[in-house]
Amino acid sequence: MAATPVSFSYKETRAVSNQLQQPVTAMKGIGAERALDLASLDIHTVQDLLEHFPYRYEDYRVRDLSEVEDGEKITIIGTVYGEPVVRFYGKKKSRLTVKIVVDRVVVTAIWFNRQFLKQQLRAGREIMLSGKFERARLQMTVSEHHFLDSNKKTPQEGSIQPVYSTNANVQVKQMRRWVADALKDYGDKVEEILPSYLVQKYKLAPRAEAIRNIHFPDSVAGGKQGRRRLAFEELFLFQLKLHAYHAVNRRASDGMTQNILLSQVQEFIRGLPFPLTGAQERVVKEILGDMQAEYRMNRLLQGDVGSGKTVVAAIALYATITAGYQGALMVPTEILAEQHYTTLQDLLTPYGIELALLSGSATIRQRRDILAGLQSGLIHIVVGTHALIQEDVYFRNLGLVITDEQHRFGVEQRRILREKGMHPDVLFMTATPIPRTLAITAFGDMDVSTIDELPAGRKPVETYWVKHDMLDRILAFISKELDKGRQAYVISPLIEESEKLDLQNAMDVHAQLSHYFAGRYNVGLMHGRLPSKEKDEVMQRFSGGEVQILVSTTVVEVGVNVPNASVMVIYDAERFGLAQLHQLRGRVGRGAEQSYCILIADPKSEVGKERMRIMTETNDGFEVARRDLELRGPGDFFGTKQSGLPEFKIADVVQDYRMLEVARQEAADLISQPSFWVGPEYAPLRHYLKRDEYFLEKIKD
Ligand SMILES: Nc1ncnc2c1ncn2[C@@H]1O[C@H](COP(=O)(O)OP(=O)(O)OP(=O)(O)O)[C@@H](O)[C@H]1O
């Protein structure tokens, strides 16, 4: 670790920040009870309160009605005119209306279920109303009102007010008051955390000003500036932490240096049935570089479907063997294990390498032999499902673990490896590409390699979106392709998340197609409930060409490689996510022939239709991912909370994507400078890092 402890004068700022670290009870009006309420919102200190940012604003600036657009939420001031009218409907519902004169225009104000206001709405009283305005009918549905002649303060008039996330214990109005008090008493104690060169370079508002403005913007522009500054800070600090983690981790000594015999690896690459693409060459270099270095590789390899990740994996596995280590390849399904095993065997056995497949269909004896072979080192490479690592498997000398489909795998497995006392280099492969910066954001401490080029000669898959009533034409189309000697996948309808029903559907489609193609072509059936042996058989008959049509549930989704298949038909395509559709489509177009993907779908929603359009418009997985992200937002995109994508308070990784990139670059640059670890100007940033236990001991000052 490069950080050498130095001492410097930091007393002044420390003292200031300490004031912000005081519990909220240091503020007047907040006693123990209110402090508990705030604690339920995870607000404990004055700083927490200042950093409890609003998620939107209420605009109380009084507007001129002639400039207001239909449906806008606005604030007006007027005089009550005439008698209020209450009408009851349903069991307990009511509608209260009254006329309000605003600049000689008569507006009808409407309250729902507020009949008790009737008494207060006396003619002549001046009132401020906020709500949604319907232009044509001159009508406002009121969400908030204040009588201006009452003694109660109506502080909002003419201002933009923050709206905070609160709960049953704390009201928004109360929160506004507390934040305002905190700003008044402590606002000037907020210190800058970003180095001044960044503040200048990106013309960022100073931190104290930004915080003031994000709560109570002095103008729309001021609010925007505040938001921009704080979003940048948030993204920058996040990236800084990742890079610092990375840097510290790389210096930790639990990795291994693999002495790869590069000339042998080169020879192996020359012996492949095809030249590597430029992108494959580049990622091979990145991976081997990591393996040779003393730190532990922790790398994500992403590439579009069919971009040739498997061969890159084979090269890395070969390389680890030249250095005297063993390798493991883990995949999500048995079918895939089988397939990768065959591919690797073809590539590696000519070089005298011993491979084993650890599958569910192995006999007890076979399994015992394999385990013994791994422990003695006689077996160099083992292929299996993710269960491989959890079980009683021990290696003599494990150097490299490659796992396919990163999003189903990760942290937990790394922990298991660690607990087994193994520190192999780890490579994760995924065919669900996402923009690079997002990948780094989501997958935290990993390096990312990207294959962004397909092997030469690939023709893009032609994709069509059709309605269910076109089934006859689809069947005729499949027939025509089969007559040319090709094969087809038919993914059966997905009705709901019930394996049993899905299976029933697959069986129905299988029966239907068997009937249609009877005497001409063979139709196979594949689903998750088949015993692994039968799965293997079905798959082998399909890849051998004996079966021409494979009806399947989505078990073929990941990684299956039968280059002669040129048609992919997907029933109920609207029920699948875009990433999954793209994966399924990726099962065809893997050979030199023109391939086709037919999506059968009747989507009801606009978003559903847009998804079908995206599929027909682009064949590029990165583009599909980008548009998916736009359509759904990042939370949904990554599916589960386990995705690791952090939830930002202010920044929005889609909207602020450019900023994320900039912040990332700046963080990387700063971390790579030795002065970061010692320079006094970076002390606030180091203190920020040290709030994380991981860095507590590792950063000294
Ligand atoms: N450089 C290359 N030139 C020509 N063909 C290649 C090249 N690299 C790989 N291939 C072939 O392309 C096909 C797809 O490769 P591979 O199965 O490795 O893709 P993948 O990236 O793993 O895709 P998926 O994620 O869809 O499984 C294979 O048949 C493979 O032999």
Q: Which has more pLDDT, 211 or 68?
A: 211
Atom 25 of ligand 1, residue of closest alpha carbon = 305
Closest alpha carbon to 53 in 188, 175, 170: 175
Q: Which has more pLDDT, 147 or 504?
A: 147
E strand or H helix that includes residue 431: none
Question: For residue 679, is pLDDT > 70?
Answer: yes
User: Per mean pLDDT, which range of 411-415, 485-489, 504-508, 564-568 is the poorest?
Assistant: 411-415
Contacts of 396 (CB under 8 A, 6+ apart): 326, 374, 375, 376, 377
E strand or H helix that includes residue 653: none
| Fold held by 462-618 | Rossmann fold (3.40.50)
* Overall average pLDDT of the 142-162 stretch: 74
- Centroid of ligand 1 to alpha carbon of 37 (angstroms): 58
Percent of the chain with pLDDT over 70: 87
* pLDDT for the residue 335: 79
* pLDDT for the residue 323: 95
257 three-class SS? coil
* pLDDT for the residue 590: 84
E strand or H helix that includes residue 320: helix 309-322
Four-CA torsion 465, 470, 475, 480, nearest 10 degrees? -70
Question: For residue 233, is pLDDT > 60?
Answer: yes
| CA atoms within a 13 Å half-sphere pointing along the CA-CB vector of 328 | 30
User: Which atom from ligand 1 is nearest to the alpha carbon of 563?
Assistant: 29
* pLDDT for the residue 622: 84
Atom 26 of ligand 1, residue of closest alpha carbon = 305
| Fold held by 62-157 | OB fold (Dihydrolipoamide Acetyltransferase, E2P) (2.40.50)
User: Which atom from ligand 1 is nearest to the alpha carbon of 431?
Assistant: 25
Question: For residue 1, is pLDDT > 50?
Answer: no
Percent of the chain with pLDDT over 90: 41
Atom 27 of ligand 1, residue of closest alpha carbon = 559
Question: For residue 311, is pLDDT > 90?
Answer: yes
Q: Which has more pLDDT, 217 or 415?
A: 217
User: Which atom from ligand 1 is nearest to the alpha carbon of 343?
Assistant: 31
- Centroid of ligand 1 to alpha carbon of 310 (angstroms): 6
Tokens 């604003």, located at residue: 57
- Centroid of ligand 1 to alpha carbon of 64 (angstroms): 64
| Fold held by 262-451 | Rossmann fold (3.40.50)
* pLDDT for the residue 642: 38
Question: For residue 74, is pLDDT > 90?
Answer: no
* pLDDT for the residue 701: 66
* pLDDT for the residue 407: 52
- Is the confidence metric ipTM above 0.90 for this complex? yes
User: Which atom from ligand 1 is nearest to the alpha carbon of 586?
Assistant: 26
Domain spans of the chain? 15-58+162-189, 62-157, 262-451, 462-618
CB 402 within 8 A of CB 376: no
* pLDDT for the residue 5: 30
Q: Which residues line ligand 1 (CB under 6 A)?
A: 274, 276-277, 280, 303, 305-311, 431, 455, 559, 561, 563, 586, 590
Of 310, 405, 449, 451, the one to substitute when testing ligand 1's pocket (max ligand atoms within 8 A of C-beta) is 310
Question: For residue 56, is pLDDT > 90?
Answer: no
* pLDDT for the residue 212: 93
Atom 8 of ligand 1, residue of closest alpha carbon = 308
* Overall average pLDDT of the 238-261 stretch: 79
Question: For residue 15, is pLDDT > 80?
Answer: no
* pLDDT for the residue 341: 94
* pLDDT for the residue 332: 79
In 3-state terms the chain splits into helix, strand, coil percentages (rounded to 5) of 45, 20, 35
Of 277, 333, 450, 561, the one to substitute when testing ligand 1's pocket (max ligand atoms within 8 A of C-beta) is 561
Atom 3 of ligand 1, residue of closest alpha carbon = 455
For the stretch 564-604, pLDDT in tens is 999 999 998 988 888 889 989 988 988 788 999 999 998 88
- Centroid of ligand 1 to alpha carbon of 286 (angstroms): 19
Atom 31 of ligand 1, residue of closest alpha carbon = 308
Highest mean pLDDT: which range of 219-228, 438-447, 496-505: 219-228
* Overall average pLDDT of the 605-616 stretch: 91
- Cα 325–Cα 326–Cα 329 angle in degrees, nearest 5: 140
* pLDDT for the residue 199: 95
For the stretch 270-280, pLDDT in tens is 999 999 999 99
User: Which atom from ligand 1 is nearest to the alpha carbon of 312?
Assistant: 18
Question: For residue 253, is pLDDT > 80?
Answer: no
Question: pTM of the prediction?
Answer: 0.66
- Centroid of ligand 1 to alpha carbon of 597 (angstroms): 19
Same fold: 62-157 with 262-451:
no
* pLDDT for the residue 170: 85
- At 79, the pLDDT band (50, 70, 90 cuts) reads very high
- Centroid of ligand 1 to alpha carbon of 340 (angstroms): 11
* pLDDT for the residue 664: 86
* pLDDT for the residue 426: 87
User: Which atom from ligand 1 is nearest to the alpha carbon of 583?
Assistant: 26
For the stretch 435-480, pLDDT in tens is 665 666 666 567 788 898 888 888 889 999 998 888 889 999 999 9
Measure CA of the first residue to CA of the last residue in the chain; give whole Å: 13
Strands (DSSP E) contained in 523-625 are 523-526, 549-552, 565-570, 596-600
User: Which atom from ligand 1 is nearest to the alpha carbon of 587?
Assistant: 26
Question: For residue 304, is pLDDT > 70?
Answer: yes
